[in-house]
A and B are shown apart, each in its own frame.
Chain A
Amino acid sequence: MPRMNMIQALNSALDIKLATDPDTLIFGEDVGYFGGVFRVTEGLQQKHGLTRCFDAPISEGGIVATAIGMGAYGLRPIIEIQFADYILPAYDQLVSEAARLRYRSNGEFWCPITVRSPYGGGIFGGQTHSQSPEAIFAHVTGLKTIIPSNPYDAKGLLLAAIEEDDPVIFLEPKRIYNGPFDGHYDKPLKTWAEHPAGEVPVGHYTVPLGSAAIVRPGTEVTVLAYGTMVHVSVAAIKETGIDAELVDLRSIVPLDIDTIVASVKKTGRCVIVHEASRYGGFGAELSALIQERCFYHLRAPIERVCGWDTPYPHAFEWDYFPGPARVGKALRHCAEALA
């Protein structure tokens, strides 16, 4: 099986859809001729034609608005917002229109759009190239939000997202586009070539939305993570020697609640890890759900390791980013807590 990094895997998914579904098209800033600032759409315009993959004006609201209109017509647009930090001009379109079109029209119109956007930190991106806005979409009824953590999932989840008849926010952790990053910024970079999830089938397959993956089975603590934090958690588990069960959520909405609950009931302990700031973050929802469903199984307070409640800073990159040391500390704390 060929090796792909996440960019190549995403490109492969898009290539397959353009080749097999004439109702798909891709547009966004710099995605056409140039192939995208992260190369995810490289070669697609040349291969599939100008109208299948084209550049858009610098207008996130306009990109999402026109995609919704295309969806209402019967197309299946795949659009790119260059950085998730810049999705906010389109927030009204996503919340007031895309998310509600089916509901408010009693199913007369719907919105089968996929909104791809690189997100997350760890790249010295500063305040507007590092944010993790998943919680502001999780709170919107009618939107699905997906976050892959490796090339295999990225391709399968993107194909599933495009085939969905509901609007999907597809957040791509740009820190791990080229290789798994475990938070050890002072060690040599790894590539996907050495990682088992870097093996990606050439053809079509899907990873269903709403299904979490157990990355590492364990008995002592459940760790819930997604995106780059999956790899940080792998490192933290290894370094602490705690027999933790690591669950990669993959899907924020719909959430695979059954896998989460089964794991926490087994371990009795839970650490939630995300890059986004803590207050009102998606970890709060996870924590509440687990408390409601696993209360009598919990042997320690649920812990959250998150970005601080500050804007994402530049010089303080590794003070802000929840690295393996912070995750490891929470793991030990949680594992050692006595009920």
Chain B
Amino acid sequence: MSNRPPLSLYIPEPPARAGERADFSFLDIPPPGETRRPDITEPEAGMRDLPYGLVRVLDEEHNAVGAWDPRLPPDVLRRGLRAMLLTRLFDERMFSAHRQGKTSFYMRSLGEEAIGAAQALVMGREDMCFPTYRMLAWLMARDYPLLDLCNQIYSNERDPLRGRQLPILYSARDYGFYSLSGNVGSRFGHAVGWAMASAFKGDDKIAIGHVGEGTTAEGDFHEALTFASVYHAPVILCVTNNQWAISSFSGFAGGNETTFAAKAIAYGIPGLRVDGNDFLAVYATTEWAAERARTNNGPTLIELYTYRAAGHSTSDDPTRYRPDDEAAQWPLGDPLERLKAHLIALKEWSEEQHQAQVAELAEAIKAASKQAEGVGTLGQSKPNVREMFEDVFKEPDWRILEQRREMGV
């Protein structure tokens, strides 16, 4: 042995664990309006400060400030708020539906609703989103039928995915929402390929893809960024950094060492880091990246900085690995409350209007849920088992036909 000190293996640890007080003192959060807004035609080499900044628009007084203010008309803000509210109320109802045994599984988007809501309003109807399983707000912003969501979650006879998919792994082509799958990251490269196809055809559509910060550790992340960079694909690649991948904190994805937006630098792609709980900041940065993509200026990586306020899924108990009060202590607040306060500050919304909308949306969710329950919940109703054998191929081969007969259907 040499006389050097022995090597030591470093294992990252979050600042606080269960039973301890939440500690976000390590966070360096720049004030709203501080991060600059470059022109979309600026070369990437001139934008390398941005991945270390944090685009924020809403200030502590709920005003929109700085160059990234998207100057949205109040009706767009109200649509965004409605989508976020609808997502949250729907999540609550389906979470309790799971507790009542009406479905096998559910995942909430709590605290991340601004992302899907804002992006669904920025992107065109012909564009395609390649979402994660925490992007329900996209569908809500685009008025996907609540009844179809409930039917999918209950896997009942009216399930649009015919009982084949785990609850919440939606597919909604007409709403620009690509088929979800349980294995993380594997659609990130599909977004790039879809965007390449649009460019190949000389079309004007663009794609937006999502992963969580935990999934950036998958090879798919590197592959997607490499292809997006090499072929200048018209795609927006998003990392939702909600601090947690089930029980492992973002340090296990490399978050202690750098920002996730900064990964873009190595690929020669602009990287933006955004307050993911600020509807206006999400909207503005997505709009900026979309404009870059649409004008042949290539891809953008956006890190959406947020906090997963709920457990990972109905199968997870976050009190076993993180402080109970962490969500409440999150310094970037609640996206829904912040947008609501902004609209009220603009005198375009009121507490009374808000409560009326809560009541209206809750009623709509209740009605859809009841109607779906009328069709049947998990185990009470399901599509014809014959459909289990369909769509494996465009046309079934002899094996599938034989096995269907073997089942007597």
Measuring CB to CB, which residues of chain A are less than 8 angstroms from any residue of chain B?
Answer: 25, 51, 56-57, 59, 61-62, 65-75, 77, 89, 92-93, 96-97, 100-110, 141-142, 144, 164-166, 210, 253-255, 257
Kindly count the residue-residue contacts between A and B in the assembled complex, taking CB atoms under 8 Å apart. 135
Is residue B93 contacting chain A, with contact meaning CB distance below 8 A? no
Flag if A108 contacts B223 (CB, 8 Å). Answer: no
Interface string of B190-232 (1 = CB under 8 A from A): 1111111110110000010000000000011001101100100
Flag if B198 contacts A73 (CB, 8 Å). Answer: yes
Distance between B67 CB and nearest chain A CB, rounded to angstroms? 33
Pull 17 A–B residue pairs with CB atoms less than 8 Å apart, ordered by A: A57-B230, A59-B223, A62-B189, A65-B186, A69-B190, A69-B191, A69-B197, A72-B190, A72-B193, A96-B183, A103-B164, A104-B164, A105-B161, A109-B173, A165-B394, A166-B394, A254-B397
Q: How many residues of B contact A (CB 8 A)?
A: 45
Within the complex, which residue of A92, A165, A166 is in contact with B183, where a contact is CB–CB below 8 Å? A92
- Given the interface pairs A69-B197, A70-B196, the reply to whether A97 lies near B226 with Cβ below 8 Å is no
Residues of chain A lying within 8 A (CB to CB) of residue B181: 96-97, 100, 104
- Residues from 128 to 161 in B contacting A, C-beta threshold 8 Å: 128, 130, 160-161
Closest residue of chain B to A165, judged by CB?
Answer: B394
Residues of chain A lying within 8 A (CB to CB) of residue B223: 59, 61-62, 65
Closest residue of chain B to A101, judged by CB?
Answer: B179
Is residue B391 contacting chain A, with contact meaning CB distance below 8 A? yes
Within the complex, which residue of B130, B190, B391, B397 is in contact with A103, where a contact is CB–CB below 8 Å? B391
Flag if A142 contacts B398 (CB, 8 Å). Answer: no
Closest residue of chain B to A54, judged by CB?
Answer: B231
Q: How far is the CA of A72 from the CA of B177 in the complex (A)?
A: 12
Flag if A106 contacts B162 (CB, 8 Å). Answer: yes
Measuring CB to CB, which residues of chain B are less than 8 angstroms from any residue of chain A?
Answer: 128, 130, 160-162, 164-165, 169, 171-173, 178-179, 181, 183, 186-198, 200-201, 207, 219-220, 223-224, 226-227, 230, 391-394, 397-399
Flag if A104 contacts B171 (CB, 8 Å). Answer: yes
Residues of chain A lying within 8 A (CB to CB) of residue B393: 102, 142, 144, 166
Within the complex, which residue of A25, A51, A109, A165 is in contact with B179, where a contact is CB–CB below 8 Å? A109
Flag if B220 contacts A68 (CB, 8 Å). Answer: no
Residues of chain B lying within 8 A (CB to CB) of residue A108: 171-173, 179
Q: How far is the CA of A73 from the CA of B160 in the complex (A)?
A: 21
Residues of chain A lying within 8 A (CB to CB) of residue B198: 73
Q: How far is the CA of A65 from the CA of B193 in the complex (A)?
A: 7
Given A69-B196, A107-B391, 10 more A-B residue pairs with CB atoms under 8 Å apart are A72-B128, A96-B186, A101-B179, A104-B181, A105-B173, A108-B171, A110-B394, A164-B394, A166-B393, A255-B398
Distance between A260 CB and nearest chain B CB, rounded to angstroms? 12
Q: How far is the CA of A210 from the CA of B200 in the complex (A)?
A: 32
